[in-house]
Structure 1
Amino acid sequence: MALRNATHRRTCLAALLLGLTPLAQAESPLVIGTASPTGVYHITGQSLCRLLDAPCEARTSGGSVDNLAALRSGELEIALAQSDLHYHATLGIEGFAEAGPDNGLRALFSVHSEPFTLVVRRDAGISQFTDLAQRSVNIGNPGSGQRGTMLQLMDAQGWTLDAFTVVNELPADQQSLELCHGRVEAMVYTVGHPDASIAQAIRLCDAAIVDVEGDAVEALIATAPYYTHAEIPAGLYHDDQPAVQTFGVRATLVASESADPERIYALVAALFDNFERFTSFHPAYSLLEPESMIRDGLSAPLHEGAQRYYRERGWLVDDTPDDDEAT
């Protein structure tokens, strides 16, 4: 016991001599909630951690809805979320109506675009979204952004889950094999491209990506500020893959209002001070521009740590809303 106490005293003394406390020596890591380990969200979290000169962890999760719930409950301080679900959580509508507006949600920046992607077995005879009626479909696990977008599109189409013969709820990292094994004829994914899960389905069972267009899509785009027309470029997955027309959202990085402003400032600075390095980490980032990243897809007010950095760079004008107003 005496030896342990003496060792502890020496450790504390050494820390004091270095100007540190025992807590400072073991700084808690910055945790970023992502999604499936195979998706671009997780790559984005890992990429941000690579830029940050501090302990950082990209943590997998059930997806956008789960991340937003974890931010509200205090389980997470920072996470990625689709811009549509970010909007719903801010206002307390749709799937967040029971919980009400999240007045503590704060925005940092948006990242890549995320086209809503319909992947089908070629032998299923599915060439457009409306062909999914009376088919077997994986709509995504509860809590995922892909499921949230799918449910909104279904509602615009006038469909319920009864429109399908089989409804599977597997997460993104499992649905490709489900498709290739013939247990479902189609799967949906709201994701940046190219994506490993979609590439797996195309490689293993010659799956195809088809257009998602029509009146229901136009109705969503006309009424929702977070949806836009989107295109999946030709040739991303194989030489003969045509360009695919669809719609989509943006990935956004959000935080709790209570997140330490210094840590938020450091994270935002790490990204924009090393912007070219960040955009080299994945093809989905190749078209990013800082001007749109601090504006597009953001519904919650900016976190004060992010605001400080953007003002220092001259990116915020005098009438930019502060953290008591929505951006």
Structure 2
Amino acid sequence: MKNWKKVLAVSMAAMVMAGALAGCGDDKKGGSAKPAAGQTLKINFPTAGASGALYAVGAAITNMWSNNVPGVQAASQASAGGIENLNMVSDGEAQVSIAIASNVYQCYKGLDSFKDHAYPDLKVIGGLYLNPNQVVASANSGIENIQDIKGKHFAVASAGSSVYNEAEAHLTTAGMKFPDDIKAEYITFGDAADMIQNGSIDGAWIMSGAPASAVTQALTSGAHLVPIDDNLMKELKAKYPWYTSYTIKAGTYPNQDKDIQTSAIKMVMFCRGDLPDDVVYQLTKTLWEHMDEMGQSQKNLKGLTAENAVKDIAGVPLHPGAEKYYKEIGVLK
């Protein structure tokens, strides 16, 4: 039944796109295809929970596309995060989205959460910003390092989510049985911050661009960030090559008076492989032409460059339309 629904969803999506793009031509100057007069290509772009930084990033990008790409109407929506985003794109319920590079690779290959549900036609539009793991502990928790989380009442987001998987990867690498060695709480970032404030839990695993509102809320009430030490970082990088070190600079959050070392993974914008090349070319081109403008209101987009967009994308192939743009500007040969 699931396979039948998947085929139907993909077929319907393909028919909608084919109809919307009927009569498209090639613009020799920009290389973009435009839907026929009066027709619109709708792009659904799932993001994450409404309280997270990714939700605002997705809203900014889809609003920019809708205003600047003729014939395209893009809309963002709240979701459970990267894994759901990848499943929605794979199943044809969405066309473009964002997830961490590790999850994108796993979906492409059919690994871990995507076992028996690989999407080999997944394509990348570009890598964006580094998404750091932010481990928050209450003032009275006694948690000063990752190993101290053992036995604590700790929030790890929803089971099967990318954040849950991050907690699992780190805690198992630190020698724990996950989730057996903690008293796990499966809640949103916002709820976790509330529970840290009222003393109901000892801490929370949060993965989001910094600063994140939930982390700000927790640290305002006396909580602190927990660092990931050099030894654990070395082990993580050996097991999972998509990790990189990241420093949350002092002053990023209230009452944060020192730098905090943690791990991070690049956020990757991906799309369905059957999106027309000319459309993806125009989406990619317009994205980077307006990145500085979006970066003025979205801190996570500030300072991003097209040169870095083709790096740290876990070996998942670029969409031909995106690749054309990067070659055009000299980023790729």
Shorter-chain-normalised TM-score: which range? 0.7 to 0.9
Residue in 2 that maps onto 1:107: 124
Residue in 2 that maps onto 1:31: 44
Residue in 1 that maps onto 2:145: 128
User: How far did residue 68 of structure 1 move?
Assistant: 1.0
Amino acid at match of 2:292: E
User: How far did residue 91 of structure 1 move?
Assistant: 2.0
Q: Which one of 287, 298, 301 corresponds to residue 271 of structure 1?
A: 287
Amino acid at match of 2:251: G
Whether 2:268 is the aligned partner of 1:255: answer no
Amino acid at match of 1:268: T
User: How far did residue 59 of structure 1 move?
Assistant: 1.1
Q: Distance in 2 between matches of 1:26 and 1:202?
A: 49
Quickly say closer, same or farther: Cα 1:59–1:299, change in 2 above 3 A. farther
Q: Distance in 2 between matches of 1:251 and 1:43?
A: 14
**SS where residue 30 of structure 1 aligns?**
strand
Q: Distance in 2 between matches of 1:122 and 1:24?
A: 60
**SS where residue 40 of structure 2 aligns?**
coil
Q: Is the 8 A contact 1:119 1:198 kept in 2?
A: yes
Q: Which one of 300, 312, 326 corresponds to residue 316 of structure 2?
A: 300
User: How far did residue 28 of structure 1 move?
Assistant: 4.5
Q: Which one of 166, 177, 184 corresponds to residue 201 of structure 2?
A: 184
Matched residues, number: 293
Structure-1-length-normalised TM-score: 0.84
User: How far did residue 72 of structure 1 move?
Assistant: 1.3
Q: Is the 8 A contact 2:98 2:269 kept in 1?
A: yes
Quickly say closer, same or farther: Cα 1:301–1:245, change in 2 above 3 A. same
User: 1:138-162 deviations in whole A, cap 9, x for unaligned?
Assistant: 0111343211111111222232211
Q: Is the 8 A contact 1:83 1:252 kept in 2?
A: yes
Residue in 1 that maps onto 2:10: none
Whether 2:220 is the aligned partner of 1:220: answer no
Which consecutive unaligned segments of at least 5 residues does structure 2 have?
1-34
**SS where residue 161 of structure 1 aligns?**
coil
User: How far did residue 298 of structure 1 move?
Assistant: 4.2
Structure 1 window deviating more from structure 2 (255-264 vs 185-194): it is 255-264
Amino acid at match of 1:58: S
* Superposition map of 1:1-327 within 5 A: 25=38, 27-52=40-65, 53=68, 54-99=72-117, 101-159=118-176, 160-164=178-182, 166-203=183-220, 205-213=221-229, 215-238=231-254, 240-317=256-333
Quickly say closer, same or farther: Cα 1:241–1:50, change in 2 above 3 A. farther
Q: Is the 8 A contact 1:221 1:229 kept in 2?
A: no
Q: Is the 8 A contact 2:224 2:256 kept in 1?
A: no
Quickly say closer, same or farther: Cα 1:264–1:298, change in 2 above 3 A. farther
User: How far did residue 261 of structure 1 move?
Assistant: 2.7
Q: Distance in 1 between matches of 2:133 and 2:328?
A: 36
**SS where residue 81 of structure 1 aligns?**
strand
User: How far did residue 23 of structure 1 move?
Assistant: 8.8
Amino acid at match of 1:282: Q
User: 1:102-157 deviations in whole A, cap 9, x for unaligned?
Assistant: 21111111111111110111111111111001100001113432111111112222
Structure 1 window deviating more from structure 2 (38-47 vs 246-255): it is 38-47
Amino acid at match of 1:172: F
Amino acid at match of 2:74: C
Q: Is the 8 A contact 1:90 1:103 kept in 2?
A: yes
Q: Distance in 1 between matches of 2:144 and 2:126?
A: 35
The higher radius of gyration belongs to 1
**SS where residue 122 of structure 1 aligns?**
coil
Amino acid at match of 1:74: G
Amino acid at match of 1:119: V
Amino acid at match of 2:109: L
Q: Provide the identity percentage.
A: 20
User: How far did residue 168 of structure 1 move?
Assistant: 0.8
Q: Is the 8 A contact 1:112 1:250 kept in 2?
A: yes
User: 1:255-302 deviations in whole A, cap 9, x for unaligned?
Assistant: 111123333222211111123112222223334222111222343211
Residue in 2 that maps onto 1:323: none
Q: Is the 8 A contact 1:128 1:210 kept in 2?
A: yes
Q: Is the 8 A contact 1:172 1:197 kept in 2?
A: yes
User: 1:165-194 deviations in whole A, cap 9, x for unaligned?
Assistant: x21111223221122222211101111111
Q: Distance in 2 between matches of 1:24 and 1:82?
A: 37
